[in-house]
Amino acid sequence: MTSPCKHGDRPPGRHDLVFVSPAGWRAMLDARDDLAADSLLARWPKMRWPTIRRRALPHEATGVALGLPLPPSAGKKRVALLVEIDHVASVARPPSLQQARAYAPRNWWPTLDRLDGLARRHSVDARVYGSLAWQSLTGLDYVTGRSDLDVLFEFRSETDIDRFVADVAAIETSAPIRLDGELMSADGAAVNWREVHGGASELLVKSIERVVLLDRHQFISGATGS
């Protein structure tokens, strides 16, 4: 289980796990008649499972925008929620590669280990999101034979990004799954690692507030325009 911190330590950012208080869950579910009969969703507060931070929609001017993807057995439904900041009990980063490893199919393990070793050599903090993350957080069956491995690579200013993404691509050549994921800078802005590896001069940069096109060198140097 990834370690939560009090929400006052820093505001919830992109891909952050957000743990909601019991009172917050009651308020969210009471406000949504369409969710009242969902027995799986009713388990979330009882099991103290997290939600995930998402970008707010234009009409969501107040509160913290949260998301919750249900497993394939529940139709892979994506639930959008909104909670008052006072009901955010804690915030945590996504699970690390090693934390999620035990919940992955065994034939994924060598790939996870190679990515973990690569990240350590490049001073990159590598974490999982997507199906493997939710499987490790809840114990429910999210990973299927068609699942990708979604990895969040949080890089530092000294990271050689071009070399790093080339090494990720090399690992994928012998991996049993597609390696999807993002490169995230210190301020929480992120791009798909394939765009960087492909040599695009402009990158689609995503943050918790917005999505913008940014010059490749600006993003890598940390000038995200936020």
Catalytic residue, chosen from 150, 167, 180, 187, is 150
Distance CA 30, CA 35 (A): 9
Q: Respond yes or no: is residue 34 known to be catalytic.
A: no
Contact 162, 170 (CB under 8 A): no
Catalytic residue, chosen from 38, 116, 148, 215, is 148
- Residue written as token pair 């301020």: 187
Distance CA 163, CA 93 (A): 25
Q: Respond yes or no: is residue 150 known to be catalytic.
A: yes
Which residues are the active-site residues?
148, 150
